[in-house]
């Protein structure tokens, strides 16, 4: 499995081999279904699931399976092994099949969600990974939001998901790290952000400690992606930066290193960022560091937000990060944020940077500059590490 970027998901699981030449995929799928049904012998179920997993290792095999409603239902309900769950991960990883999957089994998101949130289900992590893949696209994400909204009135679906994500040992047989990318994908929907930032629920506050979760970059990245998406809602910036949430230290701490600031500089920092130990490590994942910087950038959209971030010494942490940062694209993102913090304030009427209307010709010029900057960064990376470009495995 691999961690997704901004929209969380996972890649294909290893498909394995059905053990030599056999019938065509259509015939194979038809013959496998009876062995996946409830009541079939467990050993036969395991063999059938292994064959299905092998079929998901190719594009034609995935396309065939995606249209078979009965088989999809059987895979979602099968408890005899991990291969069935991994087959669903592989099917959901193919974004071109999402529409076909939902047409074949409209209840697939609900089935997977039930499995992911079942504290006794041994393959809950795989169910969460399949959902993370499905929710990368708008239609399946909307379908999943509808399932969550239809949960019991006393226990909203998103509340159950956040509870499972934030509760250590919720499922002793599955770590549930992929609930993080799933929540990140869902938080692209306004309804999900409204739930997450409901002041009466204290949801965001429960997510904040997970920005430092040591055991999984997948979980950390999903939570940071969720927080970044919440920061798009500028009307909530005062609440996010205020004492009820106090989000800024949680975004800055993973970016901080072991630097020793002067007493005067130290006093400007939030308490949690003062006198960090000499072995303090920065977030090791470059994608997560970039999302943390982007979240802070979004919080600088309004004049009060910019001032509050300046007052809490964010520049000091970002200055040291910029000096240390080895990834050119992350360093560039950090530099842009520093320029916002140390630059002049926008003229009157343009204080909210998220509401500024950019003329179309200027927007095109900016997009062209961004493309040129990205190309320059790629050239620099190629010059720094030419052996990584175009490398192929040597024949054995």
Q: How far is CA 130 from CA 24, 63, 198, 287, in A?
A: 26, 16, 28, 21
Return d(Cα 283, Cα 287) in angstroms, integer. Answer: 10
- Position 192 scores a pLDDT of 95
pTM: 0.82
Three-class SS state of 212: helix
Give CB contacts under 8 A, 24+ apart, made by 108-111: 108/72, 108/76, 108/134, 109/134, 109/140, 109/143, 109/144, 109/147, 110/147, 111/73, 111/76, 111/77
Residue of 235, 256, 377, 393 whose CA lies nearest to 313: 256
Task: Please identify every stretch of the chain with a pLDDT value under 70, giving residue numbers as ranges.
Answer: 1-29, 79-80, 152-155, 344-396
Q: In this predicted model, what pLDDT tens digit does every residue of 246-299 receive, in sequence order?
A: 999 999 999 999 999 999 999 999 999 999 999 999 999 999 999 999 999 999
- Position 162 scores a pLDDT of 97
Return d(Cα 286, Cα 321) in angstroms, integer. Answer: 12
Residue of 66, 128, 122 whose CA lies nearest to 96: 66
Return d(Cα 230, Cα 241) in angstroms, integer. Answer: 12
- Position 2 scores a pLDDT of 36
Q: Which two tokens stand for residue 254?
A: 């993973």
């Amino acid at each position: 499995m691999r961690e997704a970027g901004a929209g969380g998901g996972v890649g294909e699981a290893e498909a394995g081999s059905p053990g030599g030449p056999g019938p065509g995929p259509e015939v194979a799928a038809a013959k496998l279904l009876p062995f996946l049904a409830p009541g079939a012998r467990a050993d036969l179920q395991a063999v059938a699931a292994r064959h299905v997993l092998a079929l998901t290792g190719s594009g034609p095999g995935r396309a065939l399976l995606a249209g078979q409603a009965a088989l999809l239902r059987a895979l979602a309900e099968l408890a005899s092994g991990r291969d069935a769950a991994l087959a669903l991960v592989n099917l959901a990883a193919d974004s071109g099949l999402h529409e076909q999957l939902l047409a074949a089994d409209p209840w697939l998101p609900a089935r997977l969600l039930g499995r992911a949130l079942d504290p006794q289900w041994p393959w809950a992590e795989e169910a969460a990974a399949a959902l993370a893949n499905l929710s990368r696209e708008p239609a399946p994400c909307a379908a999943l939001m509808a399932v969550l909204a239809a949960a019991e009135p006393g226990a909203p679906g998103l509340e159950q998901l956040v509870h499972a994500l934030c509760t250590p040992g919720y499922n002793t047989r599955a770590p549930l790290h992929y609930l993080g990318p799933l929540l990140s994908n869902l938080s692209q929907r306004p309804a999900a952000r409204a739930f997450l930032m409901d002041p009466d629920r204290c949801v965001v506050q429960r997510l904040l400690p997970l920005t430092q979760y040591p055991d999984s970059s997948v979980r950390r990245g999903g939570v940071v992606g969720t927080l970044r998406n919440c920061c798009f809602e500028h009307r909530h910036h005062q609440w996010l930066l205020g004492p009820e949430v106090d989000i800024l230290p949680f975004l800055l701490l993973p970016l901080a290193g072991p630097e020793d600031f002067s007493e005067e500089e130290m006093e400007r920092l939030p308490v949690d960022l003062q006198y960090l130990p000499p072995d303090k490590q920065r977030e090791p994942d470059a994608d997560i560091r970039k999302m943390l910087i982007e979240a802070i950038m979004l919080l600088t959209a309004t004049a009060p937000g910019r001032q509050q971030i300046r007052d809490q010494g964010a520049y000091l942490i970002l200055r040291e990060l910029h000096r240390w940062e080895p990834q050119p694209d992350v360093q560039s993102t950090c530099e842009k944020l520093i320029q916002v913090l140390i630059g002049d304030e926008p003229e009157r009427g343009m204080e909210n940077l998220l509401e500024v209307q950019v003329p179309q010709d200027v927007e095109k010029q900016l997009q062209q500059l961004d493309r040129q900057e990205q190309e320059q960064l790629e050239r620099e990376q190629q010059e720094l590490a030419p052996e990584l470009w175009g490398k192929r495995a040597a024949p054995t």
